[in-house]
Amino acid sequence: MATASSPDRADRAVRAWLWVVWGMILTIVVVGGITRLTGSGLSMVEWRPLMGALPPLSEAEWIAVFEQYKQSPQYQQVNHWMTLGDFERIFFWEYFHRLLGRLIGVVVLVPGLWFLARRRLRGKRAVQVLLAFVFGGLQGLLGWYMVKSGLVDVPAVSHYRLAAHLSLAFFVGCWILWILLGLRAPTARTGRPGVVRGGLAFLGLLTVQIVWGAFMAGTRAGYLYRTWPDMNGEYWPTGAGLSLAELTHNPLSIHAVHRHLALVVVALGVWLGVRALKAATDGGQRRVARLFLLALVAQLGLGIATVMAAMPTALASAHQGMAFLLLCANIAILHAFSNSSEKAAQPVGLGPPSQ
């Protein structure tokens, strides 16, 4: 028979599980950045979602995989100098990236089925978790669709597909976070429509900036300039156009847009964070506002350092990870200050363990 504390333990178990999933998504976002920066994304020329979980385990298998890679445009046009040892190094990051994706699917599916069977997850929450699994599966398909664009003729993935792949990863992480925020204990608070409107405006602007950040990565526009706030003495570089085609294809224009849009993001973010602090009525809201401002400042600093240091892998991947954290902090502000936050905090969809 369930004790009075059993539902609390069930709630804690579900929250702990979802925090693990969220942390794994943050990890794969950072690893994805490393994979991109090290030129590893096209090293695996096959997609075997079920049978490809094991890496080559013998020298013969390594040679066979390397021979497959030698048929790809990236090897023939860019990496024809590589030895087997060089190939193994780039293969590692793409393999690790795909393995993490598989592990996230397992960590969502297996405990999720157990929680469903024990009726610790039901109703609305069960549907939300099911959708998270579906979104994750679509993310895997989109990742392969992106890689395929670099395996024919030109050894470079489409920056549009890269932007879609990154955006969906961020969306799934925020989806998991929203479920988590809805599982907290109820809090008596009133909504702050002004903060929510500001948060939604920031969400839209940050989403555009994230997309242009992916364009930066996909076109290698981040390597163009090593000065800040100017770009080699210019604030709109010579050769950068303003047409839609230029803004989405020309690396000069993409870099300039990402730079200038960052200043607008920071300005709106500071306004939002300060307003949220002033409107806060409890420690939870103040904590969310402070974390948001901290993430905003950290992201600005990482962006500047990444450009001025010529895109080192550690800084650039941290910059991508911090973009994800800033987006999550934005989601947390929307949840904490919305009129629906009190209703969403009710443990709807969580049931007591089976007896």
In DSSP terms, which residues pair with 234 in a beta bridge?
Answer: 231
Q: What is the DSSP string of 188-223?
A: -----HHHHHHHHHHHHHHHHHHHHHHHHHHHTGGG
Other beta carbons less than 10 A from residue 135's beta carbon? 16
Q: What is the model's pLDDT at position 150?
A: 85
Q: pLDDT at position 348, please? A: 40
d(CA 221, CA 54): 35
Domain ranges of the chain: 7-183, 189-346
Ranges of residues in the chain with a pLDDT under 50 are 1-5, 341-349, 351-355
pLDDT at residue 7, rounded to an integer: 54
Predicted pLDDT of residue 190:
64
Q: What is the DSSP letter of 222?
A: G
Residue 66, pLDDT score: 93
Predicted local confidence at residue 302, as pLDDT: 97
**pLDDT digit string, tens, across residues 277-315:** 999 988 889 999 999 999 999 999 999 999 999 999 999
Residue with tokens 């409890």: 282
Residues 6+ apart with CB under 8 A from 70: 76
Q: For the chain, count helices (H), then strands (E).
A: 12, 0
Residue 155's pLDDT is 83
d(CA 196, CA 226): 37
Taking the C-alpha atoms of residue 138 and residue 214, their distance in angstroms, rounded to an integer, is: 19
Per-residue confidence (pLDDT) for residue 8, from 0 to 100: 67
Residue labelled with tokens 């290698």: 220
In this prediction, what percent of the chain has a pLDDT beyond 90? 73
Whole-structure pTM value: 0.90
* pLDDT for residue 51: 55
- The neighbouring-strand residues paired with 231 are 234
Q: Which pLDDT does position 11 carry in this prediction?
A: 81
Nearest to 328 by CA among 298, 283, 301: 298
